Amino acid sequence: MSEAKRMSRQAGGRSAPKSLGSYLDQIRDDPAEFRTVSRTVNPLKFDVTAVMGHLDRRGEYPTVQFENPLNLHGEPSKFPIVTNVWATRERCAEAVGLPRSEAGKQLGSRFAKLVGRKREPVVVSSDNAPVHANVYQGEKADMWMLPAVRHFEMDLGAVLTMGLVARAPGEDFYNITFTKTFPESGHRGGFTIHTPHMIRMTKAWEGRGERCPVVNVLGHHPGFWLGTLNNTPWGDNEYATAGGFLQEPVRLAPSVTWGKDFLVPADAEIVIEGEIVPGERTIVNPFGDISRQYQAQQLAPVMEVTAITHRDGALFQDVFSGHRDHMLLGSIAREGAIFNHLQQKLGNVVAVHMPFSACGRYTTYISIRKTEEGQAKQAGLQAIAHVPNLHVAVVVDEDIDVFNEEQVLWAVNFQVDPRRDIDLIKNLRPGSDPRGIGSSRVIIDATRPTHIAFPTRLRVPPEDMERVRLEEWLDPAGRGAR
Amino acid sequence: MRLFWSTCPKCMKAFVVEWALRHAGRQLICPYCSHRYLPDESAAIDERHAD
């Protein structure tokens, strides 16, 4: 038995290093967190997303493992589908080493700290890489062996929703970003990318007329992925950032296609190695995306597959697009990024939240410790300038809980004079946002005005709230019933 | 970003397309029936947009 196979099997017992499987072992005994579907499902016929849609309507957000999916050939797949991994803040907290009780504002702060705690990756041999336990090249490297999911009715087809790894020519750092790959055949597919660094890298290769090596990673520990979502500067090695979030170095192995010139995550579930063909474009989309709308059909770059590798017993990971799994995946990183940025620029931020009502991307609620007028607008401007595609920034006082939307909207209703406190920022470029909303942004100062006489919020005196303990004063349930 | 809606001439269902494809000479692919056709062959096109 090869070392890779032994480690892959050992990972079945789920000792270190961290992987998607080792993470699932932590939650699989709790039915609120983990459920399975054993019957055969056809992910092309919406079986998977119908199950997930029902759970979402019921307000239940377990990670779900579909044990027996069909692949894109319509045959039984050997890879179970795992989806909804990030659908609760509590699971995201655990994935980065926080207790579930600290899934609120502490989680964004944790992200802000972890971004700076990089851990350099370690390189292991292919024999020590579980992801190389099974290697397919040439005609056998067939993306259609995967149980890729078609999510929504207008989607063009099945989509691989996980992350792509790339490197700029001549550089030694890696960028990792979530992308969508549409496997139009077993060996090639169009893909869309939406982050500036990855776009810059792929354009650099294309400008040289050279094929760009890329790796599609279909499954890893959730902490690995959460580490890839941060707005890090050009030049940062995101394998190192991911290691900080994983709290152990990411293990890398030489790729099958390019050897030591391009390293792949050794503990991933499935890896597709491929090359972007310079100058070639194909049709992709529509696709139901984060905004719960469809991205429009468009032309996109083409990747040709060179190899597919996977660990023994590999899981195929999917993101339940446009739902909490997808929203939290990016929103917590943005909360951390805004918190960090505002603390560095202004120093008065208390908490930051990206609410589900704006899909975790388009609105931020920021609470500040305000000492003078103008600070709220400054905070809103800084946030909008720092985070792409942020449409609305609502800034409140520190006594408003930004994780309680009812409190935030109370402040908007009763502390905002629209003429004075709402600013429209016009004619910004929409960046890579593929939606049709436009290029304007809004800042709402919902802090209590301090430069004019203004009412305060009602409250029972805090000392009396402390004095009257409900469990001592309230009669036992049932007493008083007629 | 400007968009348009194309109605597939084969299955008569509509889907959303980036404006860059409106006159690019590339065939669209209907997500419902996989029919390939040029935008001008659409059964209907909605290309209204804000100024």
pLDDT at A433 over 60: no
The whole-number pLDDT of residue B30 equals 98
**pLDDT, tens digit (0-9, with 9 covering 90-100), for A251-304:** 999 999 999 999 999 999 999 999 999 999 999 999 999 889 999 999 999 999
pLDDT at A128 over 80: yes
Of A286, A299, A430, Cβ closest to residue B1: A430
Q: What is the distance in angstroms between the Cα of A283 and the nearest Cα belonging to chain B? A: 7
Could you tell me whether strands A392-397 and A441-445 are parallel, antiparallel, or unpaired per DSSP bridges?
Answer: parallel
Short-list A287, A80, A58, CA closest to A194 = A287
Tally the C-alpha atoms within 13 A of residue A80's C-alpha that lie toward its C-beta. Answer: 19
pLDDT band for position A244 (cuts 50, 70, 90)? very high
Asked if A59 is an interface residue toward chain B (Cβ–Cβ < 8 A), one would say: no
Phi first, then psi, for residue A124 (nearest 5°) are -120, 165
pLDDT band for position A481 (cuts 50, 70, 90)? low
What are the residues of chain B with a beta carbon less than 8 Å away from any beta carbon of chain A? 1-3, 15-18, 20-21, 24, 26-29, 31-32, 50
The whole-number pLDDT of residue A1 equals 36
Q: What is the distance in angstroms between the Cα of A436 and the nearest Cα belonging to chain B? A: 5
| A299 residue type, one letter | L
Chain A residues in contact with B26 (beta carbon < 8 A): 283, 299
Q: B21: nearest CA in chain A?
A: A298
Short-list B47, B43, B50, B51, CA closest to B23 = B47
pLDDT band for position A97 (cuts 50, 70, 90)? confident
| Three-state secondary structure call for residue A376 | helix
pTM score, whole prediction: 0.90
pLDDT band for position A429 (cuts 50, 70, 90)? low
pLDDT band for position A438 (cuts 50, 70, 90)? low
Provide DSSP, A286-339. -EE-TTSSEEPBEEEEEEEEEEEEE-TT--EEE--TTSHHHHHHHHHHHHHHHH
Q: How far apart are CA A52 and CA B36, in angstroms?
A: 31
Phi first, then psi, for residue A165 (nearest 5°) are -110, 135
pLDDT band for position A191 (cuts 50, 70, 90)? very high
Average pLDDT over residues A136-154: 96
Calculate the average pLDDT of chain A: 91
Contact A294 B16 (CB under 8 A): yes
Q: Is A302 left (phi over 0), alpha (psi -120 to 50) or beta?
A: beta
Q: What is the distance in angstroms between the Cα of A295 and the nearest Cα belonging to chain B? A: 8
**Top-confidence residue, A38 or A337:** A38
